Structure 1
Amino acid sequence: MKPLSAFFNLLSQFIPLVLTFLLAAASYWFAIQSELSLFSASGKADPASSDYYVRNFSVQSHNLTESKYSIIRSKSAEHIPQGNVWNITSPELEQFEPNNVMVNGNAKTGVYLLDTDEIFLKKDVVVNSRNNGLLTVMKSDEIRIDNITNEITTDKKVLVTRPGQRFEAQGATLNNDTGELTAQGSIKFRIEAKR
């Protein structure tokens, strides 16, 4: 009987340790199950809804072969998987290209289409383009900057100013490669003499 009693005495010393281990293992399992339910793959499957949100968004691109550099900054951005689109707030855009071409713009909101490399600036849009010293300022409710064709376009009412020139039109296209500016619709044009 003594050896059996000694065995139970020895075993009773390890019971608190075994219970602590079981309690810790149960707590760990419960925590893992809770985390898995929070981040489960069965969440939103809608590709048209946002999959993530970023504050102080900034994206830069460098094209060394064409000597192009651009940066887009915004207060925040949300990514939409369908179409690979960034919805951006208070965007600021700067682009530097060869032959002394520089573009900068800002707006209240915008959309950046990554696949087509287009930026749509919306609400109180101001875009400045400097091409070989000639500054063109475009103001509208929406302006599209196409980085592949290197054109700045709008089909909304636009106010365009250049040194000594000012016009309003229903739409306009500025080719950044050539500096050529074309307008659509009815145009109110004013030429100002240099002082």
Structure 2
Amino acid sequence: MSIQFPSEFGPEGATQGAARNRRAPRTWIGFLVGALMIVAGIGLVFWPLSSATGLLGILVGTALLVNGIGLMTRGGIALFGGALLAVLGICSFLLPEAIAGALVTFAGIGLLALGAVWITFASRIVGAAVSRAGGRGLGAIAALVPGILLVIGGVIGLVWPELALAVVAVVGGLCVIAVGCLVIWITRKVRRGGPAAQTTIII
């Protein structure tokens, strides 16, 4: 998602005041987006489990519904697949805890698999490169660290899914708050006609 604040200044300096007056009434959109992002981020930080669970349910449910409706419009065999996706989307809205648990479980399995692949193959390649460069055994041991961290993350995701979801929610919430503050700051600059009027924020 991108939030763009286009510059409305004409090539002549005399148009700056009129452009600023035309732009000012529309800056409320930027303030609203920034405020909503800050509120959502605060919710993720202080209520990580409930906020993240509800957010995942909404996002997954919306995606399933949209894709389901798209398939149903094609007719034929796709109609049954679309209906199934639509039903799953409704279930995502009604049972967000189950969706969040399933996603965390899949993420944990994925991290375990990536960690195993890293330890089995990538560490050997890095260790061989270190040996050819004249390094000692410490380099080969250090090459195992990323794989070990991935395995630990996968185990945490499988054994303590609530903890994994809470950590991701808190970190994501802090990022959302920071971006929301940035959006409000840019909007204020645009409202005043500052150089930030041509800034685009990519989220």
TM-score w.r.t. the length of structure 2 is: 0.16
Higher radius of gyration, 1 or 2: 1
Q: Which has the higher contact order (CA 8 A, sep 6+)?
A: 2
